[in-house]
Amino acid sequence: MICNIETVSTHNSFHIRSSIFFILILSFTIACSQPEPIKNKTTVDQKEPEKSTVVLNNSGGFIPVKELKDVRIASVHFNFTNSNTFDSIANKYWAVEAFNGDTIINDEDFFALHDKLKLYNLVLIELSAETKFSSGLTTFIKELETITKTIVVVTGSGKNLAYLNNIKSPIIWNKTDNSEIASVLAQVIFGGKAANNHLDATYSGKFKKGSGSTTAKTRLGYSVPEAVSVNSTLLSGIDSIVHAGIAAHSAPAIVVLVAKDGEVIFNKAYGTHTYDGGQETKLTDLFDLASVTKVTATTPVVMRLYDGKVLNLDSPISKYVAVTRNIADKKDIRIKEAMLHEAGYTPYIKFYELLKPSDLSRDSSAAYPTAIADNYFLRANYFNEVMWPVTLNSKVETRGKYVYSDVSMYMMKEVVETATHQKLNDYVLNELYLPLGMQTTGFLPRKRFDRSRIVPTTENDNWVRNMLVQGYVNDPGAAMAGGVEGHAGLFSNANDLAIFYQMLLNKGVYGGSKYYNASTVDLFTSRRSKTSGRGYGYARITEKEEQANKGYPSQQAFGHSGYTGTYVWVDPKYNLVYICLTNRVYPDDNKTYGPSKVNIRAEVLDLVYKSVINIPAVRPK
C-alpha cells in the first residue's frame, strides 16, 4: 500500500493507495509546524512537563473536557507568558477565541470583560508568576464560575495557589513557566495528556500536600518524536522528499502529519497553494480529499448503521434503493459486494461528456442552482434527470471480481441516506465530525469557510472547467451531483483526519466517547476479500507488498488514497497514523508538467516506517 498504484478508468486518472462551560486564555494563534525537539533529551525527559502537572478541584471529573460540539470557548490571559503556545495547541482541539486581560486594572474593566464573555459557555483563565493576583481578579473568577464553567490554568510558584483558595472550578498548575509546559497544560484540559501528579507541599488550607486528581488521556496529544522513542533526525528527511516533489512539480501544496502512540510527532506544511507563489500553505488549510471521501464519510456511516443493527452487509442494495429492484443485473447485488468493489459496477462514468451548452450558465438562478465553480452553474435536477438514469442503466459485467468502482459509492450514498433519513453531508457532520472535534471536515466547504483557506485543485480540469477550482469538488461527477457524493466531495485538513483515524486506531473510542464497537472497526478494516485482500471500504497491504518482505506495512494496516493527491494510512502494529495531503492535480491534471516524478505520499510513508522501526533511510535516486 506504500508504493502501489491502482489504475482506474476515472477520466484517464489513477487512484493511488484522517450546562455552561468557560475557560480563559490569551491570543489566538495557529502553529505552522510541530515544536522542534529539545536536543539530547531522553524519552523520560520529554515527558517531564506532563508528569509535573497537577490538577486540582476536579472531583466532578470535568477535566478532560468531554463534549465539544456545542461548546463555545473563550480564552482570557492575564500576563500569561506563553499564551501563544497555549492557544495554538488549544485550537487544535476546538475553536478558542482569545481575550487579553493584561491591561485590566479596575472593577470597570473586569465588568466590561465579564459582559464580553456572555456568549461563551466555557472559559479558560491563564495566570502566571507575572500576573497581578488582586482581589478584583479573584472576585472576577468567583463571579464567573457561578454562571459559567471555568478552568483556571496557573504556572509559577505554588504560593500563588493560595490566592485561589476559594475558587471552586478546576485548576491546572505547574511550577515551571515555559512553552513546553504551556503546551501540556492546554492538552491536559482536552485529554491530549494525562495528569496524575500531586502537590509536593501545602500552599493553603485547601491546597495541601498530596492534593491532586488523576485525569485520563482521551485525545491526540502533540509532542516531539523523542517522546515516543522516534529519532527526529530520521524524520527530518521528510523535508527533502517534499521539497524535491515541489521542485519536480509533483504538487505545489503539501501537508504531512505523523502520529504515533497517540501523539502527533510531525506536522508540517510546505509550499504554496499554486506554483506561482502567493499564498503559503498552512496546517489549517483544507484539501479536496477525493476518494478518501469513501473511507472518511460513506464507509463510516455504513459502519455506524452496521453497529446499530440497522443495516446488514448481506442485504441487497435494492432493499434501500427500490428503483434497482426491476433492474436484472442490479437487483440482488449485496452491500458487501459494493463495499469490496466486487459488485461488477462500471468503474467510472464520464457524466461530463453528456453536458450540453444549455446545461451550464455563468449566472446563478432557480434554473441553474448548482455551483460547480465560481460563477459557473449547472441546471436544476441534472442529477435526477441525467446522471442517475445513466448510472442505473450502466452495465454490471465483472461481478465477483475486484474492479475498483466509483459507482459502488454512488449506490452506497443512496443506501445510507435511506437508512439514516438524512443527507450524507448532514449526518457525518453532526454525528461524527463535530462530536469528534473535527472543525473543518465536511462537504461544500465554501458554505462554511473563506475561499482562501481552501487549497485549489486545478485551473483547468480538461473537461468543462477551464477556470480555477477552489472549494468545489474536483471530481466531475461529484461536482455535477451538487458537491456531495459517496465517492468524492469531502474536504478536510490533516489534524482533523488524524483525529478520525486515531479514533479508528483506538477501536472506535475517542475523547471519552464511543463511536463504534471494536468488533465493527476490526471487521471493516481487516481482510474481507480473498480476491483483493481489501477490507469493507478500506484498502490494505497488497500481495506485492507482502512479497517484498520489508517488515512493513503490517497485516493490520489499512487506509486509502485520493486522486487529488491525498492519503490516509493506519498501522495498528506500529500504533501509527499517517496523513499526507497534496494538490498534485494542479494546475491541469499533469497536462503541463507531465506525470508526477516524485511519489511524495509513498516516499514519505516509507521514510516514516523506517523512522519508526529505526531502519536507516536512503532516499531513492
Query: pLDDT tens across 59-112, in order?
Result: 999 999 999 999 999 999 999 989 999 999 999 999 999 999 999 989 999 999
> What is the CATH number for 99?
3.40.50.1700
Whether pLDDT at 581 is above 80? yes
Q: Which domain holds residue 412?
A: 237-613
Element (H, E) at 547: helix 543-548
Distance of CA 490 to the CA centre of its chain: 11
Cα 469 to Cα 364: distance, rounded to the nearest angstrom: 17
- 606 is a domain residue: yes
Residues 542 and 459 in one domain: yes
Residues 50 and 189 in one domain: yes
Question: Do 466 and 531 lie in a common domain?
Answer: yes
**Last-in-domain residue among 201, 223, 245:** 223
What is residue 615's predicted lDDT score, i.e. its pLDDT? 74
Q: C-alpha cell of 270?
A: 510546505
Residues 414-446 have pLDDT tens digits of 999 999 999 999 999 999 999 999 999 999 999
Residue 31 lies in a domain: no
**DSSP assignment of 358-400:** GGEESS--SSS-EEEETTEEEPTTHIIIIIHHHHHHS----TT
SS3 label, residue 68: coil
Neighbours of 45 (CB within 10 A): 12
What is the pLDDT, as a whole number, of residue 84? Answer: 95
- Band of residue 614 on the pLDDT scale cut at 50, 70, 90: confident
C-alpha cell at 200: 509536593
pLDDT recorded at residue 3: 36
**57: phi > 0 → left, psi -120 to 50 → alpha, else beta; which?**
left
pLDDT tens digits along 238-254: 999 999 999 999 999 99
C-alpha cell at 556: 493490520
The pLDDT of 575-598, averaged and rounded, is 95
Place of cell 475523547: 511
Side-chain half-sphere exposure of 586, counting CA atoms within 13 A: 27
**Secondary structure E strands in 457-588:** 490-492, 509-510, 513-514, 539-540, 558-562, 566-571, 576-582
Task: CATH number of the domain at 604, please.
Answer: 3.40.710.10
> Of 43-52, 134-143, 380-389, where does mean pLDDT reach its minimum?
43-52
CB 611 within 8 A of CB 235: yes
Q: Is residue 90 part of a domain?
A: yes
Does a structural domain hold residue 134?
Answer: yes
- pLDDT tier at 49, thresholds 50, 70, 90: confident
Name the DSSP letter for residue 355.
Answer: -
Q: Is 347 left (phi over 0), alpha (psi -120 to 50) or beta?
A: alpha
- Residue 37 placed within a domain: no
Model confidence band, residue 469 (pLDDT cutoffs 50, 70, 90): very high
Judgement on whether residues 135 and 198 belong to the same structural domain of the protein? yes
Band of residue 278 on the pLDDT scale cut at 50, 70, 90: confident
Q: Which has the minimum average pLDDT: 357-371, 380-394, 424-438, 536-550?
A: 536-550
User: Is residue 474 located within the same domain as residue 360?
Assistant: yes
Look at residue 503 and give its three-state secondary structure: helix
Within this chain, do residues 303 and 190 fall inside the same structural domain, yes or no? no
Identity at 161, one-letter amino acid code: L
pLDDT at residue 31 is higher than 90: no
The number of residues in the chain equals 621
- The whole-number pLDDT of residue 618 equals 53
Asked whether the predicted pLDDT for residue 167 surpasses 70, the reply is yes
Residues 466 and 546 in one domain: yes
Q: Summarize pLDDT for 281-338 with one digit per residue, the tens.
A: 999 999 999 999 999 999 999 999 999 999 999 999 999 999 999 999 999 999 999 9
Query: In this structure, is residue 172 part of a structural domain?
Result: yes
* Whole-number percent of the chain with pLDDT over 90: 86
Q: How sure is the predictor about 617, in pLDDT bands with cuts at 50, 70 and 90?
A: low
Instruction: Give the angle 481-484-490 at the CA atoms, nearest 5°.
Output: 135
Per-residue pLDDT tens for 501-554?
Answer: 999 999 999 999 999 999 999 999 999 998 999 999 999 998 887 887 788 999
Could you tell me the pLDDT band of residue 234, with boundaries at 50, 70 and 90? Answer: confident
pLDDT 10s digits, 246-276: 999 999 999 999 999 999 999 999 999 999 9
Q: Is the pLDDT of residue 11 over 50?
A: no
State which of 223, 246, 277 marks the end of a domain. 223
Total domain count for the chain? 2
User: In DSSP terms, which residues pair with 97 in a beta bridge?
Assistant: 74
Indicate whether 177 belongs to any domain.
yes
Is residue 19 one of the residues assigned to a domain? Answer: no
Q: The whole model's pTM is what?
A: 0.92
**Whether 206 and 275 share a structural domain:** no
Q: At 74, phi and psi to the nearest 5?
A: -110, 145
pLDDT of residue 8: 34
Question: Are 185 and 262 in the same domain?
Answer: no
Closest CA to 8 of 345, 382, 500, 445: 345
Domain boundary among 223, 254, 281: 223
Contact at 8 Å (CB) between 172 and 55? yes
The answer to whether residues 214 and 255 belong to one domain is no
Q: Residue 534 is which amino acid? A: R
Q: Are residues 145 and 264 in the same domain?
A: no
Are 95 and 244 contained in the same domain? no
Assess contact for 96 and 90: CB atoms under 8 A: yes
